[in-house]
Structure formats: structure tokens, C-alpha cells
Chains A and B, each alone.
Chain A
């Protein structure tokens, strides 16, 4: 393993050797201590705490009557949770897919020596600077059947046009997808554009000398070399999808009914407003499981790659 740091391990006092355990030697550890403590307690400690709570029958206040895994059993028999999980599947799948496709295409288009590329890029990316609450508020207005798109189309002469996804329990989840794609696809574009700019220029020249046209060069040479970017983007997008909470709160508030709930909203509602701390904790643990299922293989491959460098 290559390291450019100095080995600052203070000398362990050994018999017959002068130890030099001065304050200076301890300084790095002292200044790191607050972060270490806070991380261990507030991340890993709390994680364990929630795991413990998920195995109790806590309701309004945490209690420590252990009931085994029965909260998880309740959870997966809970219709609202199943809806939330299904929604996450649809929302997450579509959101990731569309963002990736759109992001790659836009990045490639922007990579063609476009005049005023900077301005266009700025426009594609600005939604990422905005809160999901603002995004939700804006799209709630745009997708609103009485005053939004539907009315715009009808006034333009398409009198039969209906666009009521926001109030249609079967379609409302697609509204979440639309708003989330609007917000995050520019980010994916930026990731891929940075990746494209990092591709070795000689590689492209070599491909062109080998007789590859632009399309083939992208398909066979450039895009395959962006595999790491592709995986990074996928991990980040799935992470955004799993913890999506504010977008639902602002755009649909879970409605109509609970047809647009996502796990994060389920967890919040049960923990903080419905006095079902045990059930809420169980749902949080399932969310953690989802994240880990994606993260662990990713980190594993990343670290292995680093070791091979």
C-alpha cells in the first residue's frame, strides 16, 4: 500500500529506551477524538439502538420489552408498508434508469464541442441546488389537474386532454419520478461529462486511426471505460431514492390516501406521529438493509480496486 504520510506512531515505551510520549505526539489523536466519539455514538451507537428498539414493543415511548422479530412480521403484513416498498421499487427503478439514460445522452451531446456549453450545463444542473421541498411545491402546481398542464393543454385546444396522475392512486408514483428526474438528471450528466473529459485522448485518436466512427468510438471505447462512473452514479441515485422523504412530503404528502408513500415517510409517520416506535424502527432497519445491500458490494469493489492500483 502506498502512503505519502509520515508514520507518526509515537514510540511505545520499551525497557531501557527513552520514550518520547510528548503532548505533540498525542495531538493528532486528541484533535480527532471528538469526531471519533461522535461518529461511534451518533452513527454506529444509534444504529444499534434503533436495531434494539425494532425488537421491542415500543409505542409512544421507547420501552425495552423484547418481542423478538414480531415487529418485522407486523411490518411485512402491513399493507401501507407493502405499498411504500412497492413504490420504492417502481420509483427507484424508473428514477435511476431515466436519470442514467438521460445523463449519458446529455453528457455525450454536450461533449461535442458545443458553443456556450457552460451556460447549457448550468441550466441542466440548477435543480440540484434546490431543496426537494421547493421542487415538490413547483411540480405540485405544474401537475395539478385543475390549473396545471391539463388546463394548459385544454386551453391550447386539446379539449379531451386529461393528466390527473397527481390525484390518481395508480399513477401518483410516476409524478414523484418526473420531479425527481428533473432534479437529479443534470447531476448524472455532470458526473458523466467529468468522466468523458477524463478519458485518455490518445485512446480516442487510436480508435479513430483504427477506423472507428464517432458512434462506434463511444459505444466500444469511451462508454466501457466509464464503467466506474456508471456504478458511482447508480449508487448515489439509489441512495437518493431510498432516503427520499422530502419530495413526497411536499409533492403528494403520501396521498391520495397512502398510495404514494415511500419507506422514509412510513418510518417518519409511525415513529413520530402514530406512536409506533417499534414498527418505525423496524422499517428504518429495513431501509438500512437496502442501503447496505447496495453499498457493501460497491465499497468492496472500490477498495479492491484501490489495492490493485
Chain B
């Protein structure tokens, strides 16, 4: 297994800069996920690592060797594609062994390797079929088998689960995680699905407009988003953003949830709000921070109970999403399914701002760090 260093990589197509100086260092055996909306440059970065596209500036190091200008085949990388890219004219067996054949591995060794990989992925019974005779999930397995057979230093996954239906996607997700734990391989994985990113990654790099917005563990990114974009992108349902006015009180600055009821929310990091008194900031509250009143939390600091008006309820089984409105902003709250809430009702909800985050309304920069 090898480490990977992406050192100030810039990629331009003519005038447009697709990658604007990417810096990422990945440990050997680490599972890194590149996530971001389409057009953020994550696929370009992936192709640059593979050597399928050439970078304009910067360096790429695999296992401490500079491979910036090496041919794809000399980088010892395997890639799993979104469309699987299985060779349609070859059987599963030939697909898996093609890379070994190109590297002049003797036939006997290839057969042993194919057998090993097929058993690991439970596709032994499919070895003599052509890709067209396989289901989506089976193709996905074969594509992974093709990558595994070569035992490369680095695996690249380019949205490998996007073409699967929801149920299979969850299954394969677990499968990939198991494989990673078993083999300890270094993986760079591109996805636009933030649940995939959260569940699989050791670390996540959130990208937008050719720049890494934040690089960190899933929990870091969830709890401590670096900016408004990351906060809005990660998490489902998304974080609630409420423009709130900072007002001065005896106990320091507080946040005025709405002008009519004058509900004041406390905020952990008071210091950062001082300079915003009288101005409006963007308060970020995850849905699980607004719940039905919970007795054990009563009286804790940063917990406030107030009345809201229910617009829509969405029962999800484990909990029920309650949609309400503060000023013009729709707000998602996560409540216990047993908590009575009907559209039109005014009900009591508990706001817990101990982990709330605040952003500058214009720049989207995080304030409380």
C-alpha cells in the first residue's frame, strides 16, 4: 500500500481553471472520499491522479515517487468506473485477468489470481459469462474484481455505485467498507452522494469550484463545517439556515430567532458575536437540534423551549420530520414519532444550540472558530 500526495495541482483548459491548486496528502491504507456537486472538479482530479489527464501545474506523488508525468500504466493504479467499463467482448474471467496479461503475468499465476478475487467477491459462478449477461450488481462486483486482481498500490473509485438501485447501493457500500477493512488498501473514492461519503470515508475532501473547501474526518465535517457550503452540502435532511439578528443582553450577545415573539437563543461562542451586535448572521441548526421537549435536557445551558407552528409532518419511521417556518425560512425539525404534531398546530419544541454554528451572511465564512 502506498501513500498519495497531491501537491498544489492546477489544471486549466484554455482559460478556465478547473483545479485551482489542490493540496491533499493521503496516508497509506487511508480511505479518502472526494465529494462535491457536479462540475466541482472531483472527476478531473481523479483522472489526473490516474494519469488520464495531464495536470497543468503541481506534482502528484505515489509512494513518495513523482508520477506527475508518468503514463497511466506505470503508476500502478486501478480504477473502478461509474459505467463499470467492462470489456464487452471478454468474459468475466478475461476481464479480470486482462490487466495481468498486459503486465506479462504468466497464465498459471493469472488463473490463481482470478480464482482468489472471484472467491473474495463471490463471483466464481459468473467467470465464463459476458458482461451483457450480468445484472448491475454483478457487473459492479466484476469491475471491483478487475481492480483487485492487479493488487495495485492505489485504488480509484469514480462514483462506482451511482448506477445501482437504492437497495443494492447500500449493500455494495457495506461490501466496499468490509473489503477496505480486510485489505487495508489506499482508496480515493469520488461520489456526489454525501451519505456514501459519511459512511465510507476515513477522511472527506469536500470540493467546490476546483477548490477543496474542507478536508477532515466525517464527524469533523458534520459537526464543524468550515463554511456555509460544506454545512449545507453534508447532512440529510440538510442543515437549517436561519438569518438571525445578534442582540446585546445582560449576559452577552444572543440570537433573536424571530422579531415577533422575540425568542432569544443563547450561543456557545459569545466572543465571536460581539462585533456582530445589531447585525444579522446566518445561524446553522441541524434538524436533530430542534426536537420535542426532552425532560433530561431541561435547564441545561443553550437549551430553550418555544412554541412553533407546524406546516407539514413527514413520518420517517424512526422519527418524524416537522416542517415549520421562522420568518421566511423553512425549518426542519426531528421529533419522536409519538410526539403529537398536526399541520396547523402550535406545539412546543426544544432548541438545543450547544452545537449550533454561525456564519457570516455575505461571505459564508464560519464565525465561531
Tell whether, in the assembled complex, residue A11 and residue B52 are in contact, meaning their CB atoms are under 8 Å apart: no
B71 to nearest A CB, angstroms?
7
Tell whether, in the assembled complex, residue A11 and residue B53 are in contact, meaning their CB atoms are under 8 Å apart: no
A-B contact count (CB 8 A): 16
Which chain A residues in 15-57 approach chain B with CB under 8 Å?
17-20, 22, 24
Question: How many residues of chain B are within 8 Å of chain A by beta carbon?
Answer: 6
Tell whether, in the assembled complex, residue B53 and residue A7 are in contact, meaning their CB atoms are under 8 Å apart: yes
A55 to nearest B CB, angstroms?
41
A156 to nearest B CB, angstroms?
59
CA distance A73 to B54 in the complex (A): 57
Determine if A303 is an interface residue (Cβ-Cβ < 8 Å): no
B303 to nearest A CB, angstroms?
52
B304 to nearest A CB, angstroms?
51
Determine if A9 is an interface residue (Cβ-Cβ < 8 Å): yes
Determine if A6 is an interface residue (Cβ-Cβ < 8 Å): yes
Tell whether, in the assembled complex, residue A20 and residue B69 are in contact, meaning their CB atoms are under 8 Å apart: yes
Report chain A residues within 8 Å CB of B69.
11, 17-20
CA distance A7 to B72 in the complex (A): 13
Tell whether, in the assembled complex, residue B52 and residue A9 are in contact, meaning their CB atoms are under 8 Å apart: no
CA distance A6 to B50 in the complex (A): 12
Instruction: From A6, A19, A20, A22, give the contact of B53 (CB < 8 A).
Output: A6
Report chain A residues within 8 Å CB of B54.
7, 9, 11
Which chain B residues in 27-73 approach chain A with CB under 8 Å?
52-54, 69-71
Question: How many residues of chain A are within 8 Å of chain B by beta carbon?
Answer: 10
Task: Report B74-103 CB contacts with A as 1/0, cut-off 8 Å.
Answer: 000000000000000000000000000000
CA distance A20 to B68 in the complex (A): 11
CA distance A19 to B71 in the complex (A): 11
B72, closest chain A residue (CB): A6
Report chain B residues within 8 Å CB of A9.
54
Which chain A residues in 265-287 approach chain B with CB under 8 Å?
none
Report chain A residues within 8 Å CB of B70.
20
Report chain A residues within 8 Å CB of B52.
6-7
B71, closest chain A residue (CB): A20
CA distance A6 to B54 in the complex (A): 10
B120 to nearest A CB, angstroms?
30
Report chain B residues within 8 Å CB of A19.
69
CA distance A166 to B180 in the complex (A): 82
CA distance A22 to B69 in the complex (A): 12
B102 to nearest A CB, angstroms?
13
CA distance A17 to B69 in the complex (A): 8
CA distance A153 to B196 in the complex (A): 81
B47, closest chain A residue (CB): A6
A2 to nearest B CB, angstroms?
12
Report chain B residues within 8 Å CB of A17.
69
CA distance A17 to B59 in the complex (A): 11
Report chain B residues within 8 Å CB of A18.
69
B112 to nearest A CB, angstroms?
30
A224 to nearest B CB, angstroms?
34
Q: In this complex, which of A9, A20, A22 has the most chain B Cβ atoms within 10 angstroms of its Cβ?
A: A20
Report chain A residues within 8 Å CB of B71.
20, 22, 24
Interface residues of A (CB under 8 A from B): 6-7, 9, 11, 17-20, 22, 24
11 residue pairs of the A-B complex, CB under 8 angstroms, read A6-B53, A7-B54, A9-B54, A11-B54, A11-B69, A17-B69, A18-B69, A19-B69, A20-B71, A22-B71, A24-B71
Nearest first, the 10 closest Cβ-Cβ pairs linking A and B are A18-B69, A20-B69, A7-B53, A6-B52, A11-B54, A11-B69, A17-B69, A20-B71, A7-B54, A6-B53
Known: A7-B52, A7-B53, A18-B69. 5 other contacts (CB 8 A): A6-B53, A9-B54, A20-B69, A20-B70, A22-B71
